Structures are given as C-alpha cells and as structure tokens.
Structure 1
Amino acid sequence: MRKAPRQQRSRVTVDAIVEAATRVLARRGWARFTTNEIAAVAGVSVGSLYQYFPDKLAIAEAIRERHLHEVLAALSGPQEKEEDEGGEAVALDRRVERFVDGVIAAHSVDQALHRVLVDEVPLAARSSYPEFEAEYQRRYRALVASGTATGEGDDGTEDEAAARMLSSAVEGVVHAAARRGDLGSSVLRSELVRLVLAYLRDRRQAGRGRAGNPPAGVDSAPCP
C-alpha cells in the first residue's frame, strides 16, 4: 500500500476500494482486473485509488491478506468447538473430522476469489505472510501431535516435517477439488478424513515400535 489510511474517511475509502476490487477480481480474473473498473465500482476517482495503491498488484495483495484472515477464521471454528467441550480429550477420529471440515470450510470462503488468487495472481516481490503461515502450520502440528504415540523421543523435528507433508497433501487434494467445484462432496470429505487418519495412525504405530512398545492389538508377552 502506498499510503496507510490514518483518518476514518481514508479507511472507509480504502475499504471501499478493496471490497470493490475483490468483486472485480473474482468476476473478471487477473487478466481483466483493471484499476479503472475498480475505481468505478468503488465509486472513487482513479486518482484517489492511486493515492493508496501504486498498481493493481498492490490491490491484489491487500485482497490476499484479507482473504487469508478469513481463511484462518473459518479454520478456527472446529478447533474452538473442541476447546468448549469441558477440556475432555477428543477421539482422534472426531478431531480429524473436525479438522477436515475446517479446511474445507476455509477453502469454501469465496471459491471464485480463492481460485484466482491461487492460480492467476502473481505474488508481489515482497509478498510474505509469515504470521499466516506460522498459524496455519501450527494447526497441522497440533493435529500431528494429537495422533502421535507418547514416548517416541522425537524432539519435534519429525512432527514439524510430518505437519508440512500432511499440509501439502491435504492442500493439494482440496485445491484440486476446488477447481472442479467438488468442495461440497461428501465423498471428498470422507476420503480426506480416511487419508489423514491413515497417515496419523501409521505414524503412531511407527512411534510405538521405536519406543519398544508393541503395536496396538499385539500381545507383548514372550512366546512360551
């Protein structure tokens, strides 16, 4: 952003520009995203627009930042519900179901806009959202930790790597489904839950083995 809004009137103008630009970008796509149309939809002059944004990429970055906040808010819903249940431990199956519901909900926030931001809008040279990335990965690390067997002796490095691998797998599936318009599919949800559970349970079994514990369902007594 070229000039940060300081007065209420300026903030209203910037909000109007970003809101209008969001609608234009979702409808037109990046190739036909123009400052002239944004200004017309926002009800401001092109000169006023350029007081705050040097070019259309800067506007797109403001849209991206706002959208990322909406994504985190959608992802927070299922996790907050867990925390409201009297602090009781939630079974892994249910935790994964809620997590998957949150991821799908997060990617359902203005699907047309999400697709354009992911597939069409170039990243600005200084585009970086470390706070978003850190918080998003924290959600995956918490999920991985909830499915990890105790006593593995992991210093957190493996959980960190597992969280990144899991997020890449889940994001790939969800983004592909979004492009096909399949985010509302019950089959997508059930298969994604199956994928995540299988990965977490496999890690749990491997953790038990490293800790010297027998896999679940296996008698640890020596053979006579």
Structure 2
Amino acid sequence: MSTRIAKQRSVMRKEPRQARSRATVETIVLAGARILSDKGWAAFTTNRIAELAGVSIGSLYQYFPDKLSLVDAIRHRHLDDSMAVMRNVRADGLSPADFAAQLVRAVVAAHSVYPGLHRVLLDEAPSSEEYRNPHTKFEIEYLSYYAQAVATYRKRAPTEADNVAGRVISDAIDGVIHNAARRGSIDDPAMQRELVCLVSLYLGNDSATKKTA
C-alpha cells in the first residue's frame, strides 16, 4: 500500500510562467515519471531525475522543494491525462457497447504511456491526504462524467441513483485497470474485452433502469 502523509501536499516552490520555464517543469515531471515507471520509488532521487531531464539540480529545486512535491506533480499530471482522454469519449450517440469499448481503450492508453508508473504510485510512493480527496476539482469532474453517462442511457438528467451507479462503474474500471497495471498485464486484450463487456452490460441493463427510475 502507498504511504499516506497526514498533511497537505507539498506544493511547487513556484509556478512556471514563461514558456521556457513551463517546458523545463514538463521535462522534469516526465523524467520523474519515467524513473518511477522503470525503476521504482527506491530509484526516485532528485539527482537521477535532474540527470535524465538534462537540467541542473538547482533548476529542479527551483520548482520542486522536495521529492513529495514532484511525485504529487506526477500524480496530478497522470490524473489530468486520464481526464483529458475521457473527455473525448462521450456517451451521446453511442451504444453502451461502443461507449464502453472507446472508454476502456482510452483509459488503458493513458495508463500505458508509463506502464509501471501506476503500480509505484499506488504501492510505493508516499502521498498526501489531498490525493483522492472527494471534493477536489478532479474527483468531482471524474465522478460526474460517469454519472452523466449512466443518466444518458437511462434517458434523464442525472439523479442521486445515477451518481451511485457512476461510482460503481468508475470503481470497477479503476480496480481492473489498476490491478492489471500492478500485474504488468494492462495490454492484455482478453482483460480489456471482459471489462468492456462488464461496463456495457451494466449501462444497458434495463432492469437496473426500471429499479432506479
């Protein structure tokens, strides 16, 4: 299990404002993500990250005061990337099976850029209480996305029952894909087919629609 730090997350020392500084921060974050994915938390040192990013250690500390602030930036980058691909898959006009297939492909793709990253973020790297706070902007948008998909197939505006169903779907997708990432089998087509089947059957379940209407 990942270590929980009972305090607010360690924030960046300063936000990059110019294009050059933003590019430097991006390079540092990507280098950190690659080291976590390929080598794990034990190898996640600021010296290694700076070397891989091609920047001085002083440049790294100019933006990130410690490793926790950098791993949080990597986490948020991963969440932002996941949300970005999900925004491109909408339930409107798609059958449940087509929506589920497109969504699973998109989420798998987001987790496949650095295939070992999520295992480390879940099991090794420390995290603050801010991570997965149910009231963060990300979590609100993330769960609303699934609730809206459920409501679309139930042909109504989202209700509290749809919010619950959305959490069930999101937890199912997260659980399957995150555990596949842990096992190194995220690219397993059989796993992906079964996950698509699970989600599409749930979304297209007429009896569930009648019970929650």
1:111-133 Cα distance to aligned partner (Å, 9 max, x none): 12222223222213444672222
**What are the equivalent positions in structure 2 for 1:64-83 lying under 5 Å apart?**
64-79=75-90
**CA separation in 1, counterparts of 2:48 and 2:211?**
61
Choose the corresponding residue for 1:139, options 133, 138, 145.
145
Partner of 1:108: 112
**CA separation in 2, counterparts of 1:52 and 1:210?**
49
Gap change, CA 1:94 and 1:42, over 3 Å in 2: closer
Gap change, CA 1:145 and 1:8, over 3 Å in 2: closer
Gap change, CA 1:160 and 1:57, over 3 Å in 2: same
Gap change, CA 1:3 and 1:93, over 3 Å in 2: closer
1:137-171 Cα distance to aligned partner (Å, 9 max, x none): 22211221133266xxx971111111112211221
Choose the corresponding residue for 1:122, options 126, 129, 141.
126
1:55 shift after superposition: 0.5
Determine what percentage of the aligned residue pairs are the same residue: 46
Choose the corresponding residue for 1:38, options 41, 49, 69.
49
Partner of 1:148: 154
Root-mean-square deviation (Å) = 2.7
Amino acid at match of 1:187: A
Gap change, CA 1:141 and 1:13, over 3 Å in 2: same
Q: Which consecutive unaligned segments of at least 5 residues does structure 2 have?
A: 1-11
Amino acid at match of 1:190: R
Amino acid at match of 1:157: E
TM-score by length of 2: 0.79
**What are the equivalent positions in structure 2 for 1:202-213 lying under 5 Å apart?**
202=205, 204-208=206-210
Higher gyration radius (CA): 1
Q: Which consecutive unaligned segments of at least 5 residues does structure 1 have?
A: 84-88, 212-224
1:9 shift after superposition: 4.0
Partner of 1:54: 65
**Would you say the 8 A contact 2:96–2:204 is kept in 1?**
no
Partner of 1:91: 95
**CA separation in 1, counterparts of 2:17 and 2:155?**
51
**More deviation, 27-36/101-110:** 101-110
2:185 maps to 1:174: no
**What are the equivalent positions in structure 2 for 1:4-23 lying under 5 Å apart?**
4-23=15-34
**Would you say the 8 A contact 1:75–1:102 is kept in 2?**
yes
**More deviation, 53-62/115-124:** 115-124
